[in-house]
Amino acid sequence: MSEIILDIQNLTKYFDIGSFGTKKYVHAVEDVSFELHKSETLGIVGESGSGKSTLARLILGLIPVTSGKVYYEGDEITGVKGKYASKVRSDIQMVFQDPYASLNPRIKIGESIAEPIIVNKLIKNKKDVRLRVEELLNLVGLQPEMYDRYPHEFSGGQRQRIGIARALSLNPKVLICDEAVSALDVSVQAQVLNLFNRLKDELNLTYIFIGHDLSVVKYVSNRILVMYLGEIMEIANTEDIFINTQHPYTKALISAIPEVKSKGIKERIILKGDIPSPVNPPEGCRFYSRCFKAQDKCGKTHPELREIDTDHFVRCHFSEKGGNKWLDI
């Protein structure tokens, strides 16, 4: 594999929600480690409480970590301040689910896109800034004339393009897309997904693509990381995740996707119960309460993340190299 651009080591984030001496922590992200390679797309999937969005914010340094380290191109960036921090911050950018919420309704979209360029003094000449913004608009498939329009004049898909243009304005190397297409209609979603793929090739970007829709994440990702209640459950190459599924939770997620199939309905694993709260989670396997393969051991011993095959890590006592027959139901 190519060189490592981001190295995440034992990243942990607890949110203290206790009051008056009672100890209550949301275990939002717990001991998460992975490497992000240059020019790859790493998909992160998970449901509510999985910590996937918190993880993105930790990497960007938007919230302080409880423990653990983030290395960018070999240098530690956790808690770094000053000039280097702003360089890192412009190298790693984020695209959000709802770009409308982050666009000021009274500011022309061109000026919104230009703002990071001006703040970071990337280009000083006003005329050049405008040229650069028009170039960016062009890049994301909008017309340069749209510079002078306001956010409400755009459709959902176009706003997402504006959000992407703004994220690209600082020439980032890594783009973290947090549910970036989740709010879009199918046909618009397809346009934005194609745009992401095209930009990746044109600008040699590296993506972390966070989503809850496994079919979308599969479509864009080289590798997929599955999270549940703050922990990594499984991480592997996209093909491996689907063909050689090792974790029962991954298996359930894959089977849960409603697909257009004219012939027969696929076998579906229905997990029992609700997603537990990430506040003071149990000692054993976090997935124990809902797992269709749970054994006594799972409730007592916390499984470690093991490499059961090349680049295929699983947090389950029972997964093993080669077969996933034991997961059949």
Nearest distance from C-beta of residue 121 to other proteins, angstroms: 36
Total Cβ atoms within 10 A of residue 20 = 4
Nearest Cα to 314, choosing from 255, 271, 251? 251
What is the 3-class SS of 195-239, one letter each residue?
A: HHHHHHHHHCCEEEEEECCHHHHHHHCCEEEEEECCEEEEEEEHH
Please identify, using beta-carbon distances, which residue of 290 and 317 lies nearer to other proteins: 290
Please identify, using beta-carbon distances, which residue of 10 and 138 lies nearer to other proteins: 138
Please identify, using beta-carbon distances, which residue of 148 and 201 lies nearer to other proteins: 201
Nearest distance from C-beta of residue 67 to other proteins, angstroms: 28
Which pair of structure tokens corresponds to residue 239?
């093909």
Phi first, then psi: give them for residue 173, nearest 5 degrees.
-105, -30
Nearest distance from C-beta of residue 280 to other proteins, angstroms: 17
Which pair of structure tokens corresponds to residue 69?
């380290």
Residue 78 DSSP class: T
For helices 109-119 and 156-168, give the axis angle rounded to 10 degrees.
Answer: 20
CA distance 103 to 217: 26
Please identify, using beta-carbon distances, which residue of 69 and 212 lies nearer to other proteins: 212
Q: CA neighbours within 13 Å on the CB side: how many for 85?
A: 9
Whether residue 175 contacts residue 167, with contact meaning beta carbons closer than 8 Å, is answered with: yes
Nearest distance from C-beta of residue 274 to other proteins, angstroms: 5
Q: Looking at this protein, which amino acid is placed at residue 257?
A: I
Total Cβ atoms within 10 A of residue 201 = 9
Nearest distance from C-beta of residue 166 to other proteins, angstroms: 20
Nearest distance from C-beta of residue 156 to other proteins, angstroms: 8
State whether residue 15 is helix, strand or coil: strand
Whether residue 41 contacts residue 209, with contact meaning beta carbons closer than 8 Å, is answered with: yes
Please identify, using beta-carbon distances, which residue of 86 and 222 lies nearer to other proteins: 222
Whether residue 321 contacts residue 241, with contact meaning beta carbons closer than 8 Å, is answered with: no
Please identify, using beta-carbon distances, which residue of 238 and 319 lies nearer to other proteins: 238
Interface residues toward other proteins, by CB under 8 A: 19-20, 47-48, 155-158, 185-191, 193-194, 197, 212-216, 218-219, 238, 242, 252-262, 265, 268-271, 274-275, 290
Please identify, using beta-carbon distances, which residue of 118 and 190 lies nearer to other proteins: 190
Nearest distance from C-beta of residue 171 to other proteins, angstroms: 25
Please identify, using beta-carbon distances, which residue of 46 and 68 lies nearer to other proteins: 46
Nearest distance from C-beta of residue 227 to other proteins, angstroms: 12
The DSSP bridge partners found for residue 306 are 314
